[in-house]
Each structure stands twice: as C-alpha cells, then as structure tokens.
Amino acid sequence: MPDSISKTVLPDGLQLAYRRWGTGQAAGQALLIHPLALDGSLWAPVAERLAEKGFDVVAPDCRGHGQSGKAPGPYSVQQFGSDMEALLDHLGWEDAIVAGCSMGGCVAQALALAAPRRLAGLVLVDTTAWYGPEAPRNWGERADKARTEGLAAMSGFQATRWFSDAWRAANPGIVANVTEIFVANDLACYAASCGMLGNADLREGLEHVTVPTNVIVGEEDYATPVSASEDLVRRIPGATLAVLPGARHLTLVECPDAVATALLDVASLVAPAPDRRRR
C-alpha cells in the first residue's frame, strides 16, 4: 500500500492525484507514469520494491485518469509531460528517475524532450516513440468502439493484450482489479487519450537524451512489440534493452522484479546531484 494518496493543483486548475511510497527516503527519487486507461496503482508492486531499497517513489494518475481531474480533450503527450513537470515542482524534486509504461512511456519521452534537466534517468517499459502511420485511424477506431460499445465490452480484448495466457490463468484476481480500473474510465477522457496516442510522435530529439536509459518489453507484447523497443534503443544513446521472456504488455504488473531491477540499474548509473546540476 502507498504511504499516502495526495493531490496537487496543476497550473490550469486541474487536480492531479498521486500515490507515494517511501516518502522522503534518500536513495533516489522515482516518478512512475502509468499506461492508458489505468492509474498509478498499477505501479504498486514496483514502487514497493523500490521503497524497500530506500527510494522515494511517486506514481500519479495522469489527467483524465483515476482520481485526477477529468479535463476535456484534446490531450497531448506534451501536456501530460508538462503535468509531470508541475508535479516535480510540487514535490520539490529537481529531478527524478522517470519510468513510464506504454502511454506512460510516451509521456516520459515527452518530458525528456521538453525538460531534460528534470530527469536523472529514464526507464521505458512496453512503449514506443511512435505508433506508426496508421495510428490516428487505429486509435480513432478504438475510441469509437469505446463510445459505441462501452469499455466493459472491450475488457476481454484488453486483458489478452495486457497479460500472457499463463499469467492470466494464474492471477485472476489481479486481472479483475486491473479490468475494474479500466472499465471505470470516463469515456470522453478515454477517447481523448486514444486521440493523443494516435498523434504522438516522440522520435525527433531522442538522440539528445543523455541520461542513463533502460528499455524493457515483454517478449509477447503485441501492443508495442519488441521492434518498437529496439527502435527506442537505436535512437537513445547508450540505452540498453531487456526483453522479458513470455511476458506481454503490462510487465510492470506481470514482472515487477524485472522492472524494479531496470530502475535500480539506471539508479546505479546516475551521476551525483552536483554533476547532474552542471548538465
């Protein structure tokens, strides 16, 4: 369980909710950004492992998600990234190791491009820099399906995208919890988030990322396949790739040990604070 659930007010007046583990601990600071139509609670298994190692960990609910304000769209990954920067300001964190899964990975990249000094390290989990030329149409169709059929009708499709067959069979309670979070989404915010991903293109500028970066992906991820992670590794100087055998899209839930290890590995490469300030 997180130590607390808090809210801050963003510059446009919207409330941003966040969970925090290991409050004030000094081993490092980690900001964890969740996937589409889910919330910061998805990071709990990873956050608990980091807090056990002395990290101060925060996982927000992005705008339009979870307990954060339901601003109308359109949304952009740049807006979500600037929300994260406002959260860092609120926390008094000059920088943090920033990890994002799927949509959260796109937001983490947007933050890295817009405000590179706010990152001490970067961990990109089951994500992509670009969903490809068909993305606006594909994500538009996903939003239309949600509007016409409702999110509950999509939950079976989502569960098979999120988790491997064996893991779903072994963990029905967790699958039910994640599905419950998905189904509770505000439809307009879900559609705006789909539109955001359809338009997201973070490819330009990733060659300038200088912080230690780990990219991690499930071997069976067909939402953001291994090739998308390989592309990230080609673009980001010095980035390393871990492919998790047998796992699918939500490795933060399916393989929390591996994802926590990816964060700790990045933390071990982070320069001391005075050197980071000089960047």
> Binder to ligand LWBT4IAB among 29, 41, 109, 158 (CB under 6 A)?
158
Instruction: Check binding of 161 to ligand LWBT4IAB (CB under 6 A).
Output: yes
Interface with ligand LWBT4IAB, residue 223, by CB under 6 A: yes
Closest CB 238 distance from ligand LWBT4IAB, rounded Å? 25
Closest separation in Å from C-beta 203 to ligand LWBT4IAB: 17
36 belongs to the binding site for ligand LWBT4IAB (CB under 6 A): yes
Nearest approach, Cβ of 266 to ligand LWBT4IAB (angstroms)?
21
Written as one string, the DSSP assignment of 49-60 is: HHHHTTEEEEEE
- Closest CB to ligand LWBT4IAB among 64 and 212? 64
For residue 201, give the DSSP letter.
B
155 binds ligand LWBT4IAB (CB under 6 A): no
Q: CA–CA separation, 111 vs 119, rounded Å?
A: 8
Pairing of strands 15-21, 55-60: antiparallel
Of the candidates 33, 39, 17, the residue with the CA atom closest to the CA atom of residue 179: 39
CA distance 208 to 188: 35
Give whichever of 38 and 209 is closer to ligand LWBT4IAB, judged by the CB atom: 38
Nearest by Cα to 16 from 56, 64, 74: 64
Question: CB neighbours (10 Å) of residue 263?
Answer: 27
Distance CA 233, CA 236 (A): 5
Segment 90-149, which members bind ligand LWBT4IAB (CB under 6 A)? 102-103
Residues within the interface to ligand LWBT4IAB (CB under 6 A): 35-36, 102-103, 158, 161, 197, 223, 249
